């Protein structure tokens, strides 16, 4: 610690060079933070998908509906604690560009199966009392400046009402949740849809089943599928995590693309930083000789050079990650296409480790050279 | 004249000594090459996707959907509506039959090659006129399916990207089995991601009764679009919207390609800033290691401008090398790379190939040169202003 002033002054020996090295590292880790956020956003919250929740869809395809009658049969199965169904509504609010997800659910089982959606109790009561009631995510409410009590019209694209084309909803509540929870959805009641739709009565999109023992997930899945085998609507059951992952994979391997870009970025920055460090140590050969003459051990010189490079990496890197975090706090820049837009905590930790590793590798060779420097040679060079 | 000769001599000297400063020059080259690779490859994704979408469709075809539907997927038309649509004026007719195809558009779960996870592959039920409506359609392997059977033909893109879509195979889906009897091409358009079958058979398999989702109609000329549209939208017996096929697909691709483009430009801009810093560092290093040489040159009477130009040229030369390497690598690695993604508006897969166009390569090289110019500017000014006595004294 007492060498900190020495470190500091050798850092600022060549101001311009240090500043540009800092900026390079800064940019590298700013990109790291942003790319990891994009990667997380394209995985649609797979990290919070419940392992004890199974998703049953129609075997032919997700767009095929299932009969609502499956609910009782599923609920009567041993090991099932809760059953709920959901339906994709896919309506348009004012303009097709205002895309957001609208889900048709049964309020009570839905709220029990998804405790991560936090709704104040009085709003829950209001929702149960109002058939046209809808619950919206806080981010969605912010986007359209909706308040509780607002009445909003949504044009059905898949489901037509018996009259006209517009479905009206009363916003009776707002849900919040931890980071990673998609707060851009609208949930409304199944009975409202079912009583008023022109066709498709008694059909739901898919089932979500909560099971008592997550280790039995695949056995339970197989059991459900065999229950409905050879019926007119056969099912395919996966864990919710598997379901979300499968969905994300349909978009393509965004994760791999992001990591490939990051490798390119970090490799370049490593070269830049290592080159600068080498240059800076080379210039100070005689100073190193003086330090050693004064009695600094080889190990001390090694540590000194390594700390210098780690210090640059830590200052630049943490500023970069910090700015990335600040930017991500502003929320999804695409207006609804990437609902879960957060910098995952795990990636912040990984970033921190990479910062230190980058500093160590960049400083390794120059530090090693400085350590092995013979005093006589070092002093003679100038 | 002297001035030009001087500049030329110093620049040549600089460029010739680049290999001696291989380490630091390499850093600048690699940095700039990296930026160009990322810029070009990410933009080639957007380019390939929108090319596939925009190649789809012809202005002389009109797509009829239920009004309010935002894609083929959410549309729905009854059999009587379909009949009325086919009688509308402005349609191309072959004898008594309209050159129009009433179609169903659904998705079927088929594993994607590479990930093994199920993907929403689009399946289109068509009428016999479908191939007459789409003149670009051609069978490249096997034969066309027979109407009234459970035979299907698959697009080339679908065959490449999804499992088991080879001629001679059978696709099992729920209680249905489909026999693949042929593979088709449609000039690289989106339809090549689709599986085609008889619309009547698909109605049964997906329990759609006697309903369809869209009608794709060939107009008797591109100009009769308005007549065709107005006659339908003013007809109270049908509740439809009519769009040119080209417009429909252009609008479908807009959101995704602009998202990819924005991400690509954003990443490249940030990386570019990083690479400029790398180039600045390299050039500063180059200038400072040669401070004595530069001072000697100036002491001999070389003017400052020639020194400045020489440093700038070196930086730009490095950038050009980096840009060229990056462009070539991006082209070799990504041009024609086959993949597929989800088109959110129809909730189904679209197969496409990355396209590294000459335009993108030019853009990458221009960007590289700009980075070289900016990166070299400050070090060049510094070299030109170097105080001669102290620089001569430096180690």
- Token readout for A158 is 């898949």
- Which residue pairs from A115-124 have beta carbons closer than 8 angstroms and sit at least 24 positions apart in sequence? A116/A48, A116/A177, A116/A178, A116/A181, A117/A175, A117/A177, A117/A181, A118/A175, A118/A176, A118/A177, A119/A173, A119/A174, A119/A175, A120/A173, A123/A148, A123/A172, A123/A173, A123/A174, A124/A173
Q: Which of A157, A253, A261 sits opposite B267 (nearest CB)?
A: A261
Conformational region of residue B57, where left means phi above 0, alpha means psi within -120 to 50, and beta covers everything else = left
The interaxial angle of helices A4-11 and A298-329, nearest 10 deg, is 70
Considering only the beta carbons, identify the residue of B23, B34, B342 that sits closest to A250. B342
From the CA of B39, how many Å to the nearest CA of chain A? 10
CB B44 within 8 A of CB B356: yes
- In sequence order, the β-bridge partners of residue A152 are A169
Which H or E run includes A166?
strand A166-175
Q: Quote the tokens at residue A40.
A: 């997380």
The pLDDT of residue B240: 92
Do the Cβ atoms of B37 and A264 come within 8 Å? yes
Q: Which residues numbered 141-200 in A keep a CB inside 8 Å of some CB on B?
A: 155-158, 160, 165
Tens-digit pLDDT profile for residues B314-352 = 889 999 999 999 999 999 999 988 888 888 778 888 888
Ordered by start, the domain boundaries in chain B are: 2-54+253-389, 68-238
Tokens of A235: 């099912």
Average pLDDT over residues A267-283: 80
Say if residues A84 and A109 touch (Cβ distance below 8 Å): yes
pLDDT, tens only, A281-296: 888 888 888 888 998 8
> How far away is chain A from the Cα of B224, in angstroms, using its nearest Cα?
28
According to DSSP, the residues that pair with B215 across neighbouring strands are B64, B102
Q: Which two tokens stand for residue B41?
A: 């490859």
**What average pLDDT does the segment A22-43 reach?**
88
| Minimum Cα–Cα distance from B204: chain A residue | A232
Token readout for B346 is 């129809």
Question: pLDDT tens digits, residue range A319-336?
Answer: 999 999 999 888 777 666
**Average pLDDT score, chain A:** 88
Q: What is the pLDDT of residue A93?
A: 92
Determine which of A271, A286, A323, A365 to mutate to test the interface with B (most B C-beta atoms within 10 Å): A271
Spans of all domains in chain A: 4-44+253-380, 53-212
Model confidence band, residue A166 (pLDDT cutoffs 50, 70, 90)? very high
A/B interface, count of CB pairs below 8 Å = 155
Mean pLDDT to the nearest integer, A112-125: 93
Can you point out the beta strands (E) in chain B? 61-66, 77-78, 93-94, 97-98, 100-111, 118-126, 138-142, 151-155, 170-173, 176-185, 195-198, 211-212, 214-218, 240-244, 338-343, 348-353
Q: Is the pLDDT of residue A48 over 70?
A: no
* Predicted local distance difference test score (pLDDT) of residue B7: 85
On the question of pLDDT at B268 being above 70, the answer is yes
Hey, are the CB atoms on B173 and A31 less than 8 Å from each other? no
Interval A115-129 mean pLDDT: 94
Please compute the mean of the pLDDT values over residues B268-281 and round it to a whole number: 82
Cβ atoms A196, A162 nearer than 8 A = yes
Contacts of B71 (CB under 8 A, 6+ apart): A157, B65, B252, B345, B346
- What's B195-213 look like in SS3? EEEEHHHHHHHCCCCCEEC
Predicted pLDDT of residue B171: 93
Provide mean pLDDT across the span B63-88. Answer: 90
Question: Per-residue pLDDT averaged across B386-390, rounded?
Answer: 83
Judged on CB neighbours under 10 Å (0-12, 13-18, 19+), A331 is middle
pLDDT at B1: 66
| pLDDT tops 70 at residue B166 | yes
Nearest to B173 among A60, A92, A267 (CB): A60
Task: With CA atoms as reference, report the closest residue to B274 among B23, B42, B24, B30.
Answer: B30
**CB < 8 Å to A234, chain B:** 174-175
Distance from CA of B49 to the nearest CA of A (A): 12
- d(CA A309, CA B215) in angstroms, rounded, equals 66
Confidence of residue B254 (pLDDT cuts 50, 70, 90): confident
pLDDT bracket for residue A15 (50, 70, 90): confident
C-alpha to C-alpha distances, A273 to A352, B215, B281, nearest whole angstrom: 17, 61, 10
ipTM above 0.90, yes or no: no
pLDDT at position A111 is 93
**Terminus-to-terminus CA distance in chain A, angstroms?**
30
Q: For chain B, what percent of residues have pLDDT higher than 70? A: 99
Helix spans in A145-216 (H)? 190-196
Q: What average pLDDT does range A348-353 have in this prediction? A: 94
Higher pLDDT, A3 or B186: B186
pLDDT band at A1 (very low <50, low <70, confident <90, very high): low
Please write the tens of the pLDDT for every residue from B236-253: 999 899 999 998 988 888
| Average pLDDT for B143-160 | 95
Cβ–Cβ under 8 Å, residues B178 and B195 = yes
pLDDT above 90 covers a percentage of chain A that reads 44
CA distance A336 to chain B (A): 11
């Amino acid at each position: 610690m007492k060498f900190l002033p020495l470190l500091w002054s050798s850092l600022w020996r060549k101001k311009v060079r240090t500043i540009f090295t800092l900026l390079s590292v800064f940019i590298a880790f700013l990109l790291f933070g942003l790319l990891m956020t994009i990667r997380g956003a394209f995985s649609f919250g797979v990290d919070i998908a419940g392992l004890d929740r199974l998703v049953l869809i129609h075997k032919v395809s997700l767009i095929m509906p299932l009969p609502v009658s499956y609910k009782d049969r599923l609920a009567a199965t041993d090991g099932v604690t809760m059953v709920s169904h959901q339906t994709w509504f896919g309506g348009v609010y004012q303009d097709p560009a205002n895309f957001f997800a609208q889900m048709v659910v049964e309020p009570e089982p839905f709220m029990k199966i998804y405790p991560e959606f936090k709704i104040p109790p009085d709003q829950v009561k209001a929702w149960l009392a109002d058939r046209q009631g809808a619950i919206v995510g806080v981010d969605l409410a912010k986007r359209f400046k909706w308040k509780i009590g607002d009445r909003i019209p949504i044009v059905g694209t898949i489901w037509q009402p018996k009259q006209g084309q517009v479905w009206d909803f009363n916003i009776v509540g707002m849900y919040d949740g931890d980071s990673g929870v998609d707060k851009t959805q609208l949930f409304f009641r199944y009975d409202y849809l079912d009583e008023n739709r022109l066709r498709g009565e008694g059909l739901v999109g898919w089932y979500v089943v909560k099971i008592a023992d997550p280790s039995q997930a695949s056995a339970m899945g197989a059991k459900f599928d065999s229950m409905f085998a050879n019926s007119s609507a056969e099912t395919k059951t996966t864990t919710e995590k598997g379901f979300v992952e499968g969905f994300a994979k349909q978009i393509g391997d965004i994760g791999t693309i992001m990591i490939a870009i990051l490798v390119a970025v970090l490799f370049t920055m490593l070269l830049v930083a290592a080159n600068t460090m080498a240059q800076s140590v080379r210039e100070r050969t005689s100073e190193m000789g003086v330090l050693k003459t004064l009695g600094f051990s080889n190990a001390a010189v090694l540590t000194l050079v390594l700390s210098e490079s780690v210090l640059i990496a830590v200052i630049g890197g943490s500023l970069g990650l910090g700015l990335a975090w600040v930017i991500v706090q502003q929320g999804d820049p695409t207006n609804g296409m990437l609902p879960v837009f957060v910098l995952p905590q795990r990636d912040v930790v990984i970033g921190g480790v990479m910062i230190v590793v980058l500093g160590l590798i960049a400083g390794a060779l120059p530090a090693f050279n400085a350590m092995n420097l013979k005093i006589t040679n070092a002093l003679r060079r100038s | 004249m002297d001035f030009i000769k001087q500049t030329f001599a110093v620049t040549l000297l600089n460029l010739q000594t680049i290999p001696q400063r291989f380490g630091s020059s390499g850093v600048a080259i690699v940095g700039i090459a990296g930026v160009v690779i990322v810029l070009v490859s990410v933009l080639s994704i957007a380019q390939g996707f929108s090319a596939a979408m925009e190649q789809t469709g012809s202005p002389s075809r009109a797509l009829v959907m239920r009004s309010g539907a935002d894609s083929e997927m959410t549309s729905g038309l009854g059999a009587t509506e379909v009949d009325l649509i086919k009688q509308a004026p402005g349609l191309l007719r072959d004898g008594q039959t309209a050159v129009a195809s009433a179609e169903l558009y659904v998705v079927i779960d088929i594993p994607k090659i590479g990930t093994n996870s199920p993907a929403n592959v689009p399946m289109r039920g068509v009428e016999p006129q479908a191939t007459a409506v789409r003149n670009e359609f051609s069978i490249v392997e096997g034969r066309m399916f027979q109407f009234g059977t459970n035979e299907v033909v698959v697009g080339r893109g679908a065959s490449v990207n999804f499992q088991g879509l080879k001629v001679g195979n059978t696709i099992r889906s729920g209680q249905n089995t489909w026999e693949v009897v042929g593979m088709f091409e449609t000039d690289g358009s989106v339809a090549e991601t689709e599986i085609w079958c008889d619309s009547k058979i698909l109605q049964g398999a997906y329990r759609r009764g006697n309903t369809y989702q869209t009608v794709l109609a060939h107009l008797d000329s591109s100009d009769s679009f308005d007549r065709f549209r107005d006659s339908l939208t003013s007809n109270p017996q049908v509740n439809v919207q009519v769009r040119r096929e080209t417009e429909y697909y252009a609008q479908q691709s807009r959101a995704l390609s602009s998202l990819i483009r924005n991400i690509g430009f954003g990443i490249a801009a940030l990386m570019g800033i990083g690479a400029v810093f790398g180039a600045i560092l390299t050039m500063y290093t180059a200038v400072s290691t040669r401070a004595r040489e530069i001072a000697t040159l100036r002491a001999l009477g070389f003017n400052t401008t020639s020194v400045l130009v020489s440093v700038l040229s070196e930086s730009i030369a490095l950038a050009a090398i980096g840009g060229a390497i990056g462009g070539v690598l991006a082209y070799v690695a990504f041009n024609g790379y086959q993949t597929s993604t989800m088109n959110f508006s129809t909730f189904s897969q679209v197969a496409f190939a990355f396209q590294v166009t000459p335009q993108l390569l030019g853009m990458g090289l221009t960007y590289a040169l700009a980075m070289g110019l900016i990166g070299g500017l400050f070090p060049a000014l510094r070299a030109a202003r170097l105080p001669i006595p102290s620089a001569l004294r430096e180690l």
